[in-house]
Structure 1
Amino acid sequence: MRLVSLIEGTTLVALVFVAVPLKRLAGYPLATTIMGPVYGLAFVLYVWMLIQTVTSGHWPRRDVIRLLVVAFIPFGAFWNERDLRRRQAALASPA
């Protein structure tokens, strides 16, 4: 889940801060033509992975909503990754 979150977040940042300015400011529409579907695929993969992760264990509704909302915020995935890393470490540590 962490890796997919980072991929989704990176593609969103590339779309918003590289491809869209290239299209709007430099007149290079091919940037969004390429980056748009790449981000779309990453987003679908993220949502699919989120569903798989949430259904495999107990996740509070608040965390699920946060995981979904940050997918729409540039750099949100990087903030989210810290929480996912903590969850992974807690699951890996012996109880």
Structure 2
Amino acid sequence: MTTGLRRSAAIEGISLALLTLVAVPIKYWGGYQKPVEFIGPLHGMAFLVFLYFLIRAIAADEVGLKEATRLFLGAFIPLGGIVNERWLRQRDSARHPSGTTGPGHFSDPVP
């Protein structure tokens, strides 16, 4: 259901944390720019992928406007993507208590 959104939220959150908590301090305190030059574009790509999955989830009516706003704002906080991923996982498991995620799930009986 929202597996792509969950995974992209986690990757985006980790990349933002690496950028802001590791690469930027190395740049300003250590005078070494390479980590920012490497992690910055990776984080940018991760953020765009996250936005793609968020827009797709909105279009498929998998998340509402309030939820989408929460997810979007969380993407601007270091490790906020990890919180978003965990929240999405809990929300999905509450909606599908048996562990299935809808039609086509591997535990569906074969017709």
User: Percent identity between the aligned chains?
Assistant: 36
Task: Extract unaligned runs of 5+ from structure 2.
Answer: 99-111
| TM-superposition CA deviations, 1:13-66 (whole Å, max 9, x none) | 000011001110111101111111000000000000101111112533211111
Report the equivalent of 1:67.
71
Q: Provide the rounded CA distance (Å) in 1 between the counterparts of 2:86 and 2:37.
A: 31
Structure number with greater Rg is: 2
Q: Which has the higher helix share?
A: 1
Is it true that 1:22 corresponds to 2:22 in the alignment? no
| RMSD (Å) for aligned C-alpha atoms | 1.4
Question: TM-score, normalized by length of structure 1?
Answer: 0.90
Alignment size in residue pairs: 94
Is it true that 1:77 corresponds to 2:59 in the alignment? no
Report the equivalent of 1:7.
11
Question: TM-score, normalized by length of structure 2?
Answer: 0.78
Q: Provide the rounded CA distance (Å) in 2 between the counterparts of 1:29 and 1:64.
A: 34
Report the equivalent of 1:33.
37
Quote how far apart the aligned CAs of 1:82 are.
2.2
Task: Extract unaligned runs of 5+ from structure 1.
Answer: none
